Amino acid sequence: MKTILLLICSNIFMTIAWYGHLRYRQLPLFVAIIASWGIAFFEYCFQVPANRIGSYEFSVVQLKTIQEIITLVVFCIFSYFYFEQKVGINQVIGFCFLVLAAYFMFKSN
């Protein structure tokens, strides 16, 4: 559970760093880069411990799968509230396929 919480925090910072500047396109690009880089520092402060802690209970492939699912959930929430963009049916269907893929990643042989 600790790994999941750290990955959620990491992805919140990552999403803000990667996409938050799009609301401020009038700012010079170097300002967006420096601001994003500064925010990304905090993403790494959560991501590295999450992977270290998680590596004791998950495989690297499972960790990456967890991270990708969390990334999509965080991004959908972020884009809805920050950019007021709704998630369409095609995105929901695609997300369901990713959840199905995650199921197979964790299914025992």
Of 42-46, 76-80, 82-86, 102-106, the least confident: 102-106
What pTM does this model have?
0.85
pLDDT score for 109: 57
What is the chain's mean pLDDT, rounded?
92
pLDDT score for 91: 86
Mean pLDDT of 51-76: 92
CB 96 within 8 A of CB 90: no
DSSP assignment letter at 84 = -
Sign of the CA dihedral running 7, 13, 14, 19: positive
Going by C-alpha positions, the residue among 78, 90, 73 that lies closest to residue 39 is 78
Q: What are 1-57's pLDDT values in tens digits?
A: 999 999 999 999 999 999 999 999 999 999 999 999 999 999 999 999 999 999 999
The tokens for 75 are 């991004």
